[in-house]
Structure 1
Amino acid sequence: MARIESSSLPNGLPLHRVELPTRSTTILVAFDAGARTERPEENGMAHFLEHLVFKGGQKYDDYRKVNQTAETMGAVLNAYTSHDLVAFHITCRAEVAAEAIDLLTDFVGRPKIDAEELDRERGVVIQEIARSNDQPSVIAEHLIDRAAFGDHPLGRPVLGPEEHLRDTFTRDGILAFRRRQWVGSRGGAFIVGNVDHLPEDNELAELFGRFPSISANGGSEPAPPFAPTTLVEQRESAQSHLRMSYRPSIDPRAPAERAALAVYSTLLGGSMGSRLFDEIREQRGLAYSVYALDHSFADVPILQLSAGLESGKCVEAFTRMREIVDELRTEGPSEEEVERARAYAAGRRVLAFENTNAVARHAAQQTVVFGQDIDPDKAIEALDAVTYEQVVEVGRGISEQLSVACVGPHDQAEFS
């Protein structure tokens, strides 16, 4: 069982300690400052800022000191930006947790954002965007976001467009975005794993106090109404990348309903025993990759089906995948399917939570996005508690309409 202690630091940043019986410790700091919080002209700024802080802070004042200090303590240092949030994390052996906190809070809490490094990093992120645009599967992900959410921030790519990196982003604009969105009350610090070697409380407060105390003056737009759209990027290729996006009718802020959606998406396409994998791949041989996944933003849930397949089989696969969702809506799953999917979803969560970084990421999502309980054991219990009736209800509530995105030698009429 995890032992959890939560407190609020003087700068408004919540601090959560999640004690687990491990030899490692993960320290993660997250803010409600993902791509969803960007204004149109800022698209890509949250991710670019994530890159820039790694160039150094006050104590570790260049990228070499940051990287080499982490390596010297045998730690793994990284970050991620999603539509939901931005997070920075370091995982280390427990004995060097104090040094890891010192490093992370220095360059993330008080970064230099050097103008020369900013210009140099533009080219790196432009290359990252170019690499993404060379991958049809990534293009399909961008298309389905736009098809599902239009010009809303949830419909824009996290990396943003190349022209923003080249022409728009200034140091002043980036600092203004940080002041607006990196707010303690809309973030959290998480220490997960072995907590036997942490500094005293007053030293912890001083280290995490490197994040400035800022009043909340930003936010994000509410999710738009569902307006199903089909988008196709035509490419003369032998392979196609298909994405289908539905809106479930669950309340995304209800943990039990999110758990039921997770079990539903598992039996639909989350395992080798799922309906999509069994029929689309094994029985019909229509796709080499086919799966379903669910995600809940703060105010809207999504169910996405994905396939990578031979172009000549794309429309047949699309038709049958849509029929499978319709069948689950009208006929429901079998009790055996639900039982197997529930066990698989919960077991997969148990295995994931053997990793302190996974627990820290879960805790950040829970508290920063939803403002809810971060206990990993309760997340597993929620999946174990899902009933057959709840999964049937989820299936009935999946929208009949859907957004579609495809990259390949097709046109929109094929997916009507």
Structure 2
Amino acid sequence: MNGAVALPLDLPELSFTASGDALVRRSVLPSGIRILSERVPGSRSSTVGFWVAVGSRDELSALGTTPSRYGSTHFLEHLLFKGTPSRTALDIAVSFDQVGGEHNALTGKEYTCYYAKVQDRDLPMAVSVLADMFTSSVLDAAEFENERGVILEELAMADDDPNDVVGERLFEAVLGDHPLGRPVGGSADTIKAVTRDAVWQHYGANYRPQDLVVTVAGAVDHDELVAQVTAAVASAGWDLTALSRPVERRTAALAEVRRGEALSLTRRPNEQAVVMLGYPGFAAADDRRSALGVLNSVLGGGMSSRLFQEVREKRGLAYSVYSFASGYSDAGVFGMYAGCSPKNAGTVAELLLGEFGRLAADGITDGELARARGQLSGSAALALEDSDTRMSRLGRSELTTGEFTDLDEALRRLDEVTPADVRALAAELAGRALSVAAVGALDAEVFAGLVETDEPEPLKAVS
């Protein structure tokens, strides 16, 4: 495989060999269902995912303007495990437990995935059960109310974790009223308010043949997989004779983002304060994402990174300190994190900002670039030892970027990154609106002078 492989929505069949002699195949059925597989030589397990390109950001546009609809995506993720006309919730659980398999689901800001990992011989069972859940959930009224309580407990657990809280607050502060700034799971108020009818409407509107993407990695025969998926959804009553084009991918044009808050402070009587600094970042498909990976690695991606060395090793002010980059279809967040004593929060925040400022002004060294390349290439290769990672890569490629990039191509792009690329990227980020989010026994004065309150111009759409 040379270069990335495009995944056009109107191409019925596609097949190619990726790095490591993995065979990747893709079928777009007349009904709009997309099925992708990656057969890995020597694998004895398979990971399968059923995806829809609908996440927490879509609840307003898909369901109207009523705030009580927020949280429906996460609610539905729970409910699909609660039973179908042919399987109870216990039946679903037993199906995987009795073969030593794993099954779960995740709700993201832009997609939802129901997945399972099993031995190769149990893949037909996994496809059948997940297809039944996906197509035929009954959303029983009693189970709906039971699960409402479960989700409220889940949210309460997250609210007790300062790391979860500060992450949510940072996204709200950086992205403002952009839908990506909303919490994935909703809030206690929205979960209490959402109705079964709202969730049922969400289910019917977004879980259709043209929305479904099935990805399998590991020990898999593509033709058999297509037959298994087709038979499973047909038995659920889906009309596969109706011609339909897959739903279009989201626009890749950068959205306008206005900062929500310069400082978001949540006061808690905790022994430790957690602090995050963030900027509007880059979209997932941005051509500079390899340079962004290098920037993140050098700044806060490991024990040799600048943040770790300056804040933890030299000064002993934090146990956990790092940077991160989150990219979505039309926006992103770049940020830095540290957990420290409340009395040191102001100092640590200044150190985070100072290290990033120096990187933006002076760039990185050749030695740092070499270490970052080694770290990124090694971690990518190790991650691909797991069929879960490969299955997820197929799903994100299909739903988000519209292209498949194997390890060899990713490493080629990484090798093209220069120190000048990283410096230019850091300088661009540093010129954007900074937001600070913190949780702990803190006062706003701790961060005085760290952020500007005047709102700069919003990010403009780019071609």
* 1:311-347 Cα distance to aligned partner (Å, 9 max, x none): 1111101001101111111100111101101110121
Q: Give unpaired runs (5+ residues) of structure 1.
A: none
Match of 1:35 among 44, 50, 56: 56
The aligned counterpart of 1:109 is: 135
* 1:218-260 Cα distance to aligned partner (Å, 9 max, x none): 9899844242521101223331010111234x56423x41121
Pairing 1:131–2:157 present: yes
The aligned counterpart of 1:52 is: 79
Conserved in 1, the CA contact under 8 Å of 2:283 and 2:328? no
Q: Residues 121, 218 of structure 1: CA spacing in aligned structure 2 closer, same or farther, 3 A cutoff?
A: farther
TM-score by length of 2: 0.83
Q: Distance in 2 between matches of 1:398 and 1:182?
A: 37
Which has the larger displacement, 315-324 or 188-197?
188-197
Q: Distance in 2 between matches of 1:278 and 1:389?
A: 23
SS in 2 for 1:78: strand
Deviation, 1:146, is: 1.0
Q: Distance in 2 between matches of 1:405 and 1:12?
A: 42
SS in 2 for 1:306: strand
Q: Give unpaired runs (5+ residues) of structure 2.
A: 1-19, 61-66, 450-463
SS in 1 for 2:318: coil
Amino acid at match of 1:285: G
SS in 1 for 2:90: helix
Q: Within 5 Å, give how 1:11-410 maps onto structure 2.
A: 11-21=31-41, 22-39=43-60, 40-59=67-86, 61-166=87-192, 168-196=193-221, 199=224, 201-209=226-234, 210=236, 212=238, 223-227=255-259, 229-248=262-281, 252-254=284-286, 256-373=287-404, 375-400=406-431, 401-410=433-442
Q: Residues 289, 145 of structure 1: CA spacing in aligned structure 2 closer, same or farther, 3 A cutoff?
A: same
Conserved in 2, the CA contact under 8 Å of 1:13 and 1:185? yes
Amino acid at match of 1:247: P
Q: Residues 119, 290 of structure 1: CA spacing in aligned structure 2 closer, same or farther, 3 A cutoff?
A: same
Conserved in 2, the CA contact under 8 Å of 1:26 and 1:356? yes
Conserved in 1, the CA contact under 8 Å of 2:170 and 2:276? yes
What is the number of residues matched between the two proteins? Answer: 412
Q: Distance in 1 between matches of 2:89 and 2:384?
A: 31
TM-score by length of 1: 0.92
SS in 2 for 1:199: helix
Amino acid at match of 1:11: S
Amino acid at match of 2:257: P
Which has the larger displacement, 150-159 or 93-102?
150-159
Amino acid at match of 2:130: L
Conserved in 2, the CA contact under 8 Å of 1:19 and 1:194? yes
Amino acid at match of 2:443: D
Q: Distance in 2 between matches of 1:157 and 1:379?
A: 31
SS in 2 for 1:357: helix
Amino acid at match of 1:270: G
SS in 1 for 2:330: coil
The aligned counterpart of 2:10 is: none
Conserved in 2, the CA contact under 8 Å of 1:33 and 1:182? no
Conserved in 2, the CA contact under 8 Å of 1:346 and 1:384? no
Amino acid at match of 1:34: G
Conserved in 2, the CA contact under 8 Å of 1:181 and 1:219? no
Conserved in 1, the CA contact under 8 Å of 2:320 and 2:338? yes
SS in 2 for 1:38: helix
SS in 2 for 1:397: helix
Amino acid at match of 2:85: Q
Q: Residues 57, 219 of structure 1: CA spacing in aligned structure 2 closer, same or farther, 3 A cutoff?
A: farther
Match of 1:7 among 27, 35, 39: 27
Amino acid at match of 2:277: M
Identity between Structure 1 and Structure 2 (%): 28
Q: Residues 212, 153 of structure 1: CA spacing in aligned structure 2 closer, same or farther, 3 A cutoff?
A: farther
Q: Distance in 2 between matches of 1:13 and 1:46?
A: 20
Q: Residues 384, 187 of structure 1: CA spacing in aligned structure 2 closer, same or farther, 3 A cutoff?
A: farther
Match of 2:444 among 403, 409, 412: 412
Q: Distance in 2 between matches of 1:281 and 1:157?
A: 30
> CA RMSD, aligned part only?
2.4
Conserved in 2, the CA contact under 8 Å of 1:240 and 1:310? yes
Deviation, 1:100, is: 1.2
Amino acid at match of 1:264: L
